[in-house]
Structure 1
Amino acid sequence: MDKTSRGQKIKLLILDVDGVLTDGHIIFGRDGELMKNFHAQDGLGITIAHRAGLKTAIITGRESQIVQLRSSELKILDVYQGSKNKLEALYELVEKYNLALEEVAYVGDDLIDLSVMTKVGLSCAVANAVPEVKSYAHLVTNHHGGKGAVREVVEFILKSQGKWEEIITSYIQGGQIKTQQ
């Protein structure tokens, strides 16, 4: 099955954080994690995904207040932090939303992401992912993690589903489109 056919079926987009939603840099201060860099285009991409009816979730191996703040701001309702076994979170999400694995997309960048990537309908790797992750991806982005890669995946899915032109038209007309999530 080609990647466009895979994209047509997606109802849930799951994201890793470090190296996907961020550029992978983690800045520590004396009292712990201080900062992560997020890209505004990725944020708008997630907002567009929600408005177009896609559900979103985060599964990350690290725990961070910054991730909780950013996911709350973007209205990502399902956030799994400290996940050493990302498959458990995947199966919980599939059951929660009554989805088939082929209706799930996942975006990753490193070896910890392979267990999920090899199970979902559309596995995506960011441009700066390690070679092993890229080799298992149905889609490899042109953008690096934290530099618009998530937005690129959202656009790919929505174009595959024939929803992108409606989104563009809605922004031309003032930015309002129906919210389905």
Structure 2
Amino acid sequence: MKIKLIILDVDGVLTDGKITIGSDGIEMKSFHVKDGMGISLAKYYGIKFAMITGRRSEAVLNRARELKIDYVYQGVSDKKAVFDKLLIDLNLDYCHVCTIGDDLNDLPVIQHSALSFAPHDAVEFVKKNVTYITNAKGGEGAVREMIDFILKSETDYDLLVKNYLDVKYELTQ
């Protein structure tokens, strides 16, 4: 099985799940640079990425632009419907998809992905329904841990990193 698409939840996966809203109403989120570098490496390898999140945030759009995330869906109440449409649009089967999520609203996508992960601090029910649980918590490198696992399973990781650095491909963190 070769992973061609990784579906990312945002809050609790790419972030620690905390939502900071300033007195001006602007929402702030913290993202981990190790996750960003992992996404950049996986994109170099040929994996596409989608963010599917229940909330709407300008911070998410900014981070997605920085990382050149292929598909971004915000304010989604039915993640499975978006997931199904994305697979049709990309002409992909479930067997080529990996998903990482941390809470109940991620389960419909997790349960229909060939490979699934949850951050170490995900809710217990989600952890019971995934293929792997990362050692890292959400927002603390869980996505990078997942990506490294996939890349090490599918290719010569050392050679991939060497080639990535040699061509100086989009070294985005």
Bin of the TM-score, shorter chain as denominator length: over 0.9
Take 2:40 and 2:133, find their aligned partners in 1: how far apart are those partners? Answer: 22
Q: Give 3-state SS (helix, strand or coil) of 1:124's partner.
A: strand
1:143 aligns with 2:136: yes
Take 2:118 and 2:9, find their aligned partners in 1: how far apart are those partners? Answer: 10
Take 1:19 and 1:80, find their aligned partners in 2: how far apart are those partners? Answer: 16
After TM superposition, the structure 1 = structure 2 runs for residues 28-43 of structure 1, keeping only pairs within 5 Å, are 28-43=21-36
TM-score scaled by length of structure 2: 0.93
1:27 aligns with 2:20: yes
Report the CA distance shift for 1:63/1:174 in structure 2 as closer, same or farther (over 3 A).
same
Take 1:51 and 1:168, find their aligned partners in 2: how far apart are those partners? Answer: 10
Which residue, out of 144, 152, 176, partners 2:168?
Answer: 176
Q: Match of 1:46, as an amino acid?
A: I
Shift of 1:29: 1.6
After TM superposition, the structure 1 = structure 2 runs for residues 17-166 of structure 1, keeping only pairs within 5 Å, are 17-166=10-159
Q: Which runs of 5+ in 2 are unaligned?
A: none
Give deviations 1:108-147, integer Å, cap 9, x for gaps.
0011111111111011111110000000010110101100
Q: Give 3-state SS (helix, strand or coil) of 2:100's partner.
A: strand
Q: Does the CA contact (< 8 Å) of 1:25 and 1:36 recur in 2?
A: yes
Q: Give 3-state SS (helix, strand or coil) of 2:55's partner.
A: coil
Q: Match of 1:94, as an amino acid?
A: L
Q: Match of 2:54, as an amino acid?
A: G
Q: Which runs of 5+ in 1 are unaligned?
A: 1-7
Backbone CA RMSD of aligned residues: 1.6
